[in-house]
A and B are shown apart, each in its own frame.
Chain A
């Protein structure tokens, strides 16, 4: 299902980028060291021929740095973008498993994880790990060079680089840690509050609650600003320490080199090399303070991504799934209790509920708001684990693969989403490959025929967020059209009539029940509970009323 190009681990590309980055930094160091030697040697007025190797090397290093840096940038960005794509797909796949038990919005909710936190994870490599690894390799080379020329200078450079390239960034990072954590949470809160305010704008305006709301946003904003200012103090501290370490290393190298030359331990040609190599080496660690901060910021992102990936399954897939029964299914319920993850009590408690649905039976389930009708629908669609017994041709649903169950039992929920695409695609998702005629037919059977006629672009009309708005009723009917198009033997319709006027609802539901033909239909509705008092119910074989009490009250 996924192309090999993006699933291949980006590790190879990252490694390549590290090598190129280290090469670029090494060129910079080598350029300075060679130039220092060249000048020192030249001051002794040797024949120019003696300097030729150094002259050529200096020019080569001058070119190499730019070319390698360019290669490193391209490879590393490519790797980071691949990593980002991979993380997003993994999070999305996990969310697909968790839905609908996890709500897609709210503070630091899954949507934020897909958008913001996944980006942080990719950033961690691109701007955190990668520059650190490159710098470590290049600086290692510089230390070896110094050690070889004058061991004490090598030791000093090593110490200086450790302080400037490791201690300083870590100090900055650990000092900023709390502020960063607060910033991540504050940023997420600000995002959530802003989205909320914009979503609820009409109501907030109508209620005159906008000034209060802007004040709440202002508070969230100030929290973000405060956190950012706080980490500024420590970020600056890290950079300052690096600059100090640079100066100190150069200074000490000079202080060690001068007596060594006087004592004859060091050739005078090499003094400039000893002093100027550290100067270039520290260029390599200059960015590490920022890299450490990036790493830290990304840690919170990585934590959030991991949190979503590790959420418990709302549905336990069977270890050894039974084959999904073929043919017209026989659905039986013998007591069922279920609870949404995190709910304080059972969302559906009907241990005595007994339902026997031979193929083609049409039943209506009624009951007060909050009694658990939608939870029952979620159990039937295998969105949620249950206690009790729900069987399909004698096989417990929990013993079947949940995707397989949904190929037999189709759910049309009350909060059906209209996607930002064409009308046709919105319906077709129920049965990929369905022809335009099939789609149009499904829309007509859902009562959208007249509307469809008025659309100049017909099925190609864009609906959803960027398209024209659809009314509540139209939204429900699009959901109905999906349910009709999906070729499932059992249809669970969760309040398909919530936004329809009586006349339309009766027509649509009647059409739907007729169109369902030999399919089993479980209609969850508020519609008038008096059997036969409603034209729809004439097409219903049985009406079941769920009550908060433990006993079901079968009617009809």
Chain B
């Protein structure tokens, strides 16, 4: 069930605690202001005077609201920044199971959903405890009968709110989940638009999107119909009890058992007891997405960490040996055994989908071998940061950041000097088709491939990496360019231990050692 305040938020985001204290202080002051204003107004109307103290009260109320809002928004921004940083830190260390789209949604839109929770709901929650209690006490002193009406109806509001909240909690969670699925679907369909369009299916997908969003709307409205019931109870309890108070004091005025000034004081004050609760109720629903998001954030923070070897292997050296290594893909594949001699080019060949890329992942420490051992110069490896520092890797699909071609190449060695980046770019011919200052996103598939190769050359150049992993390095290149690129093997990459996967004969022909992987899948 949605709790009014999740204690973990206070623990996880330390900016929360002082903020709550500030809320309590301003809440107390706001309650005092409400009392003073009601008393002064009642006195003025009953005695036909204009109390000048009202000016001071009004001015102070304005100041209080301003200070409270500024504090709330700043605190929300601070808490969000803390949570985002913690989640991202955890996620990048942990290599996510979920899709990158979902995690991006969590740390951006998910964390943003906490805004109404912090900037709106939490301060209001504090107010809705302090103000009603103060008002009931004040009413008790001046007119116990009205105090009784307010004291009886007030608890109904959080009670019904909690009951309905309990009932809708599961639905809210499901709605959040379905929203995520929806976002994933949009991402999928928009990314695949070129494919859809080629087959004349793009417009048909628009109808599909319309249908899915329609279903989502109906499901959401189903939840809202019930969720808003708590607001209905709240509104009715608040306004009806004010009406009851008004009628009750009116009748007692007729009988003369109450003074006009007291009656006015009660009438002005009674709604003040419900205002903070009403506002909190309104903000509670806006804050629900934030509560659901907070739960997901905590789940992400609680996810078991991948054990990163404290002191992994040092930089690779000597021959690399795979001994009966099996890897888990869709099914277990392997076992593979081969040796990549130091300083030579070992080419892994075999049908697509056999797991060649996964073997490189094992070397990079991204995927553990399901069984078997990987040895460097006879010692079993535990790949960590230091081990990876000795590897230059060209993956199958090149990842580009938003930025220039030069920035994209420099990514391979943080802090690489411009000169080295230019050398690497020239070595693989990047500079022939583009300026280094051009945006990387404009590159074609073949050009991206060259950027990836330039990164490898840069790493070899600056970090003197002994091990080079090339995952289909010439897949997107025409034969002439391929030959030109393969000359890198005799140039900047010469003398390295190179393990490459390929389907292309030109690279196969260059291999010092050819490893044909054609092991059949072993049953899991």
Contacts and interface: CB of A to CB of B under 8 A. Distances in A.
A, B bound = yes
A420 interface: yes
Interface string A448-464: 00010011000000001
B50 A254 contact: yes
B77 A229 contact: yes
A466 B243 CA distance: 56
Contact of A403 (B200, B217, B413): B200
Contact of B41 (A96, A192, A250, A498): A250
Interface string B46-82: 0011100011011101110111111011101110110
Given A45-B254, A100-B193, A92 B205 contact: yes
A81 B221 contact: yes
Given A104-B191, A275-B41, A51 B250 contact: yes
A117 to B, nearest CB: 12
B240 interface: yes
A501 B267 CA distance: 85
Nearest to A104: B190
Interface residues of B, number: 165
A39 B454 CA distance: 85
- Judged by DSSP, the binding face of A is helix
A466 B480 CA distance: 38
A84 B213 contact: yes
Contacts of A229: 73-74, 77
A208 interface: yes
Contacts of B233: 66
B192 A243 contact: no
A111 B193 CA distance: 11
A144 B225 CA distance: 35
B365 to A, nearest CB: 8
A468 interface: yes
Contacts of A267: none
12 contacts: A58-B246, A96-B193, A96-B205, A203-B393, A207-B412, A209-B414, A240-B63, A280-B271, A432-B204, A465-B99, A495-B476, A504-B351
Interface string A488-508: 000000010011111011000
A368 B221 contact: no
Interface string B308-342: 00000000000000000000011100000000000
B240 A39 contact: no
B368 interface: no
A206 B365 CA distance: 9
B239 A31 contact: yes
Given A74-B225, A366-B478, A381-B198, A198 B103 contact: yes
A27 B197 CA distance: 54
Given A66-B232, A78-B217, A222-B81, A208 B414 contact: yes
B201 A417 contact: no
A310 interface: no
Interface stretch (A255-263, A322-330, A512-520, A536-544): A255-263
A231 interface: yes
Contacts of B238: 66
A502 B191 contact: no
Contacts of A309: none
Contacts of B361: 202
Nearest to A472: B396
B402 A196 contact: yes
Contacts of A217: 88
Interface in A16-65: 24, 27-28, 31-32, 34-36, 38-43, 45-46, 48, 51, 54-55, 58-59, 61-63, 65
A247 B56 CA distance: 10
Interface stretch (B5-13, B105-113, B132-140, B292-300): B105-113
Contacts of B433: 369-370
A174 interface: no
Nearest to B471: A472
B108 A276 contact: no
Contact of A195 (B50, B100, B195): B100
A367 B55 CA distance: 83
Interface residues of A, number: 181
Q: Give the top 3 A-B pairs by smallest Cβ distance, nearest first.
A: A473-B352, A247-B58, A232-B73
Contacts, number: 484
Nearest to A275: B45
A207 B220 CA distance: 44
Interface string B375-415: 00000000001001101010111010110000000011111
B357 interface: yes
B503 to A, nearest CB: 3
B277 to A, nearest CB: 13
B4 to A, nearest CB: 21
A206 B193 contact: no
Interface stretch (B164-172, B418-426, B439-447, B490-498): B439-447
Contacts of B385: 208
A92 B225 CA distance: 29
Greatest chain A CB density within 10 A among B108, B190, B196, B366 is at B190
Interface in A172-220: 187, 190-214, 217-218
Contacts of B442: 343
A501 B472 CA distance: 10
Contacts of B69: 232, 235-236, 239-240
B77 A413 contact: no
Interface string B239-255: 11111101101110110
A232 B256 contact: no
A203 B62 contact: no
Nearest to B109: A116
Contacts of A350: none
B264 interface: yes
A464 B352 contact: no
A200 B479 contact: no
Contact of B239 (A5, A62, A241): A62
B210 A100 contact: no
Contacts of A134: none
